[in-house]
Amino acid sequence: MERKAAASTEGLRESGAGRARDVLSHLRWPLALKGSLLAVAILALLGILAFTATREATTTRREPAAAVRPVAAAPKPAFTRAEETYIQALWPIHGDVERSAVRLSLGRIFYKIDDIGKADLKTRVEAALAVFRRAGERLQALQPPPSLAGAHEEYLAAVRLFQQSALETLKMFDDGDDGHLLAAYPVSQEGSDKIREVGAKFWRDEFLPH
């Protein structure tokens, strides 16, 4: 009887302990869930505060820079009478060179897309080469003032590059290799860049900044 009573008492204790564990587990889960949600909320709040503080600091740093007014560039000095005379003499030469360079470039493009044949392209190349050679002679006859001597040499170098490009293109009519067109392109492009640099100094309305 005593053993049965002891076993009965032990069973009651185990069943009571099991129920207690179940109750505690049900109590702990809502607390753990609430704690997790609370932690997430705190992290989100800290993130918002950190973002706000960073934005305010960035705005504060930018305000002085925004308050600084850009200093207007000083106007370029007017050309002297000698410079104006040289630029006016260069203008018709520049017009001939520019038109021939554009016509030659378009001729190469039209040839590549089969819009013109080799005979038409050769005519364009030979005409452009004659213009470039004549322009070189006219440039050498000019007497630039010392202040424009460097620009004069740059323009003369550009015309010589156009001549070199035209001569390279003419080689394709001797050996039939269209690869000369590819070789002539960068030379012509370098000449165009040089003329643009010089022209931007002399004729500011024609070569507007990008």
Provide DSSP, 9-75: HHHHHHHHHHHHHHHHHHHHHHHHHHHHHHHHHHHHHHHHHHHHHHHHHHHHHHHHHHHSPPPPPPP
Note whether 3 and 85 are same-domain residues.
no
- Rounded average pLDDT over 9-30: 44
Residue 40 pLDDT grade (very low, low, confident, very high; cuts 50, 70, 90)? very low
Residue 208 domain-assigned (yes or no): no
Domain end, chosen from 41, 72, 103, is at 72
The pLDDT of residue 203 is 86
Q: Residue 116 pLDDT more than 60?
A: yes
On whether residue 5 sits in a domain, the answer given is yes
Q: Are residues 92 and 30 located together in one domain of the fold?
A: no
The answer to whether residue 210 sits within a structural domain is no
**114: in domain:** yes
DSSP-derived letter for residue 142 is: -
Looking at the fold, whether 29 and 48 belong to one and the same domain comes out as yes
pLDDT level of residue 151 (50, 70, 90 thresholds): very high
Same domain, 102 and 141: yes
* Same domain flag for 93 and 178: yes
- Structure confidence at residue 137 (pLDDT): 97
Tokens for 84, please give them. 């104006």
The answer to the question of residue 128 being in a domain is yes
d(CA 70, CA 73): 9
Based on the domain organization, do 65 and 105 belong to the same domain? no
Torsion angle defined by CA atoms of residues 105, 108, 109 and 113, in that order, rounded to the nearest 10 degrees: 170
Task: Give 88-103 pLDDT, tens digit per residue.
Answer: 999 999 999 999 999 9
User: Same domain for 112 and 24?
Assistant: no
Does some domain include residue 99? Answer: yes
So what's the pLDDT on residue 69?
Answer: 59
Considering only residues 77 and 168, tell me which one the structure prediction assigns the higher pLDDT. Answer: 168
- What's the CATH code of the domain at 104? 1.20.120
For residue 160, pLDDT over 90 is answered with yes
Residue range 92-121: average pLDDT? Answer: 95
Q: Is residue 191 part of a domain?
A: yes
pLDDT of residue 124: 96
Same domain, 90 and 175: yes
pLDDT for 11 beyond 70: no
* 38 vs 82, more confident: 82
Whether 170 has a pLDDT exceeding 60, the answer reads: yes
Q: Is residue 3 part of a domain?
A: yes
pLDDT band with cut points at 50, 70 and 90 for residue 1: very low
Confidence class of residue 163 from pLDDT cuts 50, 70 and 90? very high
* Domain hosting residue 142, numbered range: 81-202
Determine the average pLDDT of the residues in 178-183.
Answer: 93
Q: Per-residue pLDDT for 143 more than 50?
A: yes
Q: Could you tell me if 142 and 183 lie in one domain?
A: yes
Instruction: Assess contact for 202 and 90: CB atoms under 8 A.
Output: yes
